[in-house]
Amino acid sequence: MINRFENYPLKKHHTFGLDVTAKYFFEYASLEELLQILVDPLLQTHDCLLLGGGSNLLFLGDYKGVVLHSAIMGMEVIETNARSVVVKVGAGVEWDALVEWSVRNNFGGIENLSWIPGDVGAAPVQNIGAYGVEFKDVFVKAEGVYLASGEPFSIDHAACDFAYRDSIFKNELKNKVVLTFVYLRLDKSPRFLLDYGNVREAVEMLGEPSLRNVRQCIVDIRRQKLPDPGVFGNAGSFFKNPMVDVSVLSAVQADFPEVPFYTMPESGRVKIPAGWLIEKAGWKGQSLGNAAVHKNQALVLINKGHATGREILTLAEAIEADIRYKFNITLQREVNVVE
Ligand code: EPU
């Protein structure tokens, strides 16, 4: 059934938990319902926002257009061979429900991506990643429709231009397609990827590596570092880790020889953790109005209670200016600001 609402509260539909509304909010549970919505005259006269779990959005105020929200559900094995399965998943499925399902069925590949908020339909857009795994590592293809025409749309891995927290859906196809189903390939004989940080050590404390143990350990690490959006609204990492030339790293090393960095083999550039830069600049745990930098992970900005989107943006801009001044590095936002 299509749900249509006017002046609809978005507080529960995005993880910053801001008190904002959508002028119109349409929710569909199937491709057929989505196609009916796409011919609604309101879509000709209003802007449109595709909203998944809202885990990567910062609303600066009430949204004056039409919010489209997928409630297309379902997880189904559609292909199987000796080594792997292909799973078709509805865009409205909660990402972590998919991870839990895959672990329960002993399908490996996404256990390191446990406890990431958001819906499956948004995972390819952002190319979500954590603990040495990125969404692109399991992606096969996605289906959907063109927003303007309702024509069917299908895209394979190569065409998605996946990169670090980036894909064609944030660029050429931004606001042009609505994804309905995503197809993933998962392993029947899981290969455990435990080399990030202290993951191996933490998994071994729980016993033999197993999908269940890896999931448990990732959830525990995330719980320690990241604030629960139910308590302090947040959108995970607010900034991307900046990719810089080696000369920029050398300049930082001159003052801080201990700066952590990762070399990017393809480009020869280096990635410096933004959380480290923000902490070194003195922002960790600091507040500006009702917005704050999380005390356990400086990459995460939080809503302390009744923050507005503008307050959070003001904090983000202050941090960006300070990091530019202190390190000559420009931070890019991972979070999308919605006017
Ligand atoms: N660090 C600090 N201070 C901080 C935070 C981090 O010094 O306040 C240092 C850590 O000590 C470590 C390095 O920065 O040396 C990396 O920290 P961490 O392992 O916590 O990861 P991150 O680079 O800060 C990235 C992702 C996270 C993901 C983790 C684990 C980005 C923008 N963020 O964070 O993703 O969970 O790695 O893989 O790439 C998200 O995208 O929303 C997100 C949470």
Domain co-membership, 62 together with 83: no
The mean pLDDT value for 238-258 works out to: 97
Among residues 288, 283, 243, 289, which one has the least CA distance to residue 266?
Answer: 243
Q: What is the pLDDT of residue 267?
A: 86
Contact indicator for 270, 264 with CB cutoff of 8 Å:
yes
Q: What is the pLDDT of residue 27?
A: 98
Strand order in the sheet with 177-187: 75-80, 84-90, 177-187, 139-146, 152-156
CATH of the domain at 269: 3.90.78.10
Pick the last residue of a domain from 169, 202, 223: 223
Given pLDDT bands bounded at 50, 70 and 90, which one contains residue 47? very high
Domain co-membership, 196 together with 81: yes
Q: How many domains are there within the chain?
A: 3
Q: Mutate which of 134, 243, 299, 300 to test ligand 1's pocket (most atoms within 8 Å of Cβ)?
A: 299
Residues 6+ apart with CB under 8 A from 292: 285, 286, 301, 302, 304, 315
Percent of the chain, pLDDT > 90? 97
Give me 107's structure tokens: 């399908």
Q: What is the pLDDT of residue 70?
A: 97
Q: What is the pLDDT of residue 15?
A: 97
Ligand 1 neighbourhood includes 114 CB (under 6 angstroms) = no
pLDDT in tens, 201-247: 999 999 999 999 999 999 999 999 999 988 999 999 999 999 999 99
Domain co-membership, 82 together with 219: yes
Pick the last residue of a domain from 21, 43, 70: 70
Residues 6+ apart with CB under 8 A from 143: 152, 153, 154, 179, 180, 181, 182, 183
Beta pairing partners, 152: 145
Q: Find the catalytic residue in 102, 111, 134, 165.
A: 165
Ligand 1 neighbourhood includes 144 CB (under 6 angstroms) = no
CA 113 to centroid of ligand 1, rounded, Å = 14
Given pLDDT bands bounded at 50, 70 and 90, which one contains residue 266? confident
Percent of the chain, pLDDT > 70? 100
334 is catalytic: yes
Domain co-membership, 298 together with 269: yes
Domain co-membership, 99 together with 216: yes
Q: What is the pLDDT of residue 55?
A: 95
Main-chain phi, psi angles of 224, to 5 degrees: -70, -40
CATH of the domain at 29: 3.30.43.10
Strand, coil or helix: what is 263? strand
pTM over 0.85: yes
Domain co-membership, 79 together with 199: yes
Ligand 1 neighbourhood includes 285 CB (under 6 angstroms) = no
CA 240 to centroid of ligand 1, rounded, Å = 9
Domain co-membership, 15 together with 120: no
Nearest CA to ligand 1 atom 37: 130
Nearest CA to ligand 1 atom 4: 275
Among residues 89, 75, 66, 70, which one has the least CA distance to residue 29?
Answer: 70
pLDDT in tens, 139-167: 999 999 999 999 999 999 999 999 999 99
Q: Which carries the bigger pLDDT value, residue 267 or residue 338?
A: 338
Domain co-membership, 189 together with 126: yes
Ligand 1 neighbourhood includes 166 CB (under 6 angstroms) = no
Residues 6+ apart with CB under 8 A from 255: none
CB atoms within 10 A of CB 166: 17
Q: Measured between alpha carbons, how far is 121 from 173 in angstroms, rounded to an integer?
A: 14
Domain co-membership, 102 together with 50: no
pLDDT in tens, 178-206: 999 999 999 999 899 999 999 999 999 99
Instruction: Check pLDDT > 90 for residue 265.
Output: no
Contact indicator for 310, 60 with CB cutoff of 8 Å:
yes
Instruction: Check pLDDT > 90 for residue 85.
Output: yes
Ligand 1 neighbourhood includes 14 CB (under 6 angstroms) = no
Rounded to the nearest integer, the mean pLDDT of the chain is 97
CA 164 to centroid of ligand 1, rounded, Å = 13
Q: What is the pLDDT of residue 218?
A: 97
Domain co-membership, 203 together with 321: no
Strand, coil or helix: what is 50? strand
Residues shown for the chain: 339
Q: Which domain, by its residues, includes 297? A: 227-338
Pick the last residue of a domain from 223, 256, 285: 223
30 is catalytic: no
Q: Measured between alpha carbons, how far is 300 from 294 in angstroms, rounded to an integer?
A: 6
Ligand 1 neighbourhood includes 294 CB (under 6 angstroms) = no
Domain co-membership, 184 together with 127: yes
CB-count burial class (<10 Å; 0-12, 13-18, 19+) for 260: exposed
Q: Find the catalytic residue in 70, 102, 237, 311.
A: 237
CA 275 to centroid of ligand 1, rounded, Å = 6
Q: What is the pLDDT of residue 268?
A: 87
CATH of the domain at 205: 3.30.465.10
What letter represents residue 189's amino acid? S
Q: What is the pLDDT of residue 72?
A: 98
Domain co-membership, 203 together with 245: no
CA 143 to centroid of ligand 1, rounded, Å = 31
Q: Which carries the bigger pLDDT value, residue 230 or residue 115?
A: 115
- Indicate the pairing of strand 300-303 with strand 291-293: antiparallel
Contact indicator for 188, 83 with CB cutoff of 8 Å:
yes
pLDDT in tens, 19-38: 999 999 999 999 999 999 99
100 is catalytic: no
Give me 238's structure tokens: 């607010």
Q: What is the pLDDT of residue 304?
A: 96
